[in-house]
Amino acid sequence: MRWIFYGGLSLVVLLDQAAKLWVRLHLEVGESLPVRDGFQLTYFRNSGAMGSSFEGYGRWFVLPALLVAVWAVYSLHKGMMRGVLMKLGAALFVGGAIGNAIDRIAFGWVTDFLDFGRGISNLADHAITAGLALILVQELVIGPLRRKYGKPCY
C-alpha cells in the first residue's frame, strides 16, 4: 500500500505546482479574479509561512520540509506507518511541504492565491492541514480503537 503514500504525495505536488504556475502566468501580483461569492483568486507572494507569519524567513522552512519528507519515507519503508489514513495524511502533509519548498528554493517566496476573505493561501497549505487532520484521526481515534478491540479499524 505504499502507492497510497507516493501517489498522494505526487498528486499534491503536481496539482499545487500546476495551480501556482497558472496563477503566475495569468495574474499580476496583487491582482484578483472573482470566482464566486466569498472566494477569489488573488496572486500574492508570501516570503513567510501560512498566513504571512514569519515574513521574510521562508527559506528557513526548506530544511524542515526536506527532513519531514525523508522521515516519512523512512517510516513508510520501516513499516511504521500503519493504516490508510496515516499513509494518506503523511502523503498530503509531505506533498504540501515539498510543494511550498519548491517555490521557496526557486523564487525565495511561495505563490499564494486562494482568497476566502481571511487570508490568502495555496493548495500546498491546505494539503498540509488536511494531512495533519488525517494523521490526528488515525493516532487519536482509530489507533486507540484498534488497540482496544484488537482488530483493524479504518
The residues that are catalytic are 112, 125
CB 60 within 8 A of CB 100: no
- Inter-residue contact 124 to 16 (CB < 8 Å): yes
In this structure, what C-alpha cell is assigned to residue 44? 500574492
Q: How far apart are CA 30 and CA 42, in angstroms?
A: 6
